[in-house]
Amino acid sequence: MNDQELLEKTLHVAREAGMFLLRKQGSVLPFGLTLDPAGDNPRTYFPRDQLPRASWDELLDATLAHLERRIGSGDVGAIALVTTLESGSESGMGVQVETRSSSLFLVYPYTGTGQSRSLGEPQPAEGLLVGPLLAP
């Protein structure tokens, strides 16, 4: 799998997982995703499971620490960081995806409530939410 395919696959898996959480819970608390270099073996990390009372910042920090540990294992081809982002009255789902040679940060505005939530067209964001962690 080439780098572009790996980036696209990771984005797809991260977006779908985030959309599931958005419809189920109404927001997306920070979580991480890794795929191996072949684009297989997706592994997710939801820090809320271990830190039920943590703030958004603490959940983000825990997710970043987990991703950094996974990167250190050497069996990671791509990572994603997914979370709800808010600015004033607007909300969106931020998806940062990185491979070893590229990175991408998109914000998907969303509308609706509950199971009827839908994502709008992604808006490229300048820079990254954090990092880069994996990409140079």
The string of DSSP letters for 40-88 reads: ---EEE-GGGT-TT--HHHHHHHHHHHHHHHHHTS--SEEEEEEEEEET
pLDDT tops 70 at residue 136: no
What's the CA gap between 101 and 40, in Å, rounded?
18
| Domain carrying residue 36 | 3-124
Q: What is the pLDDT of residue 31?
A: 97
pTM score: 0.90
pLDDT tops 90 at residue 68: yes
Give the number of residues written for the chain.
136
Q: What is the pLDDT of residue 65?
A: 94
pLDDT-wise least confident of 41-45, 48-52, 80-84, 128-132:
128-132
Count Cβ atoms within 10 A of the Cβ of residue 80 and give its class: 0-12 exposed, 13-18 middle, 19 or more buried: buried
Tell me the mean pLDDT in the region 84-104.
89
Q: What is the pLDDT of residue 35?
A: 95
Asked, for residue 131, whether it belongs to a domain, the answer is: no
pLDDT tops 90 at residue 126: no
Asked, for residue 136, whether it belongs to a domain, the answer is: no
pLDDT tops 90 at residue 113: no
Asked, for residue 132, whether it belongs to a domain, the answer is: no
Asked, for residue 34, whether it belongs to a domain, the answer is: yes
**Residue 92, token pair as written in the block:** 């969106």
Asked, for residue 133, whether it belongs to a domain, the answer is: no
pLDDT tops 90 at residue 108: yes
Q: What is the pLDDT of residue 119?
A: 85
Mean pLDDT, all residues of the chain: 90
Tell me the mean pLDDT in the region 23-38.
92
pLDDT tops 70 at residue 59: yes
**How many domains does the chain fold into?**
1
**Token pair 């795929």 in the structure block, residue:** 35
Q: How far from 14 is each of 43, 88, 113, CA to CA, in Å? A: 11, 25, 20
Task: Give the rounded percent of residues in the chain with a pLDDT score beyond 90.
Answer: 64
**Residue 71, token pair as written in the block:** 């990167």
Asked, for residue 22, whether it belongs to a domain, the answer is: yes
Preceding omega of 132 cis (within 30 degrees of 0):
yes
Asked, for residue 46, whether it belongs to a domain, the answer is: yes
Asked, for residue 129, whether it belongs to a domain, the answer is: no
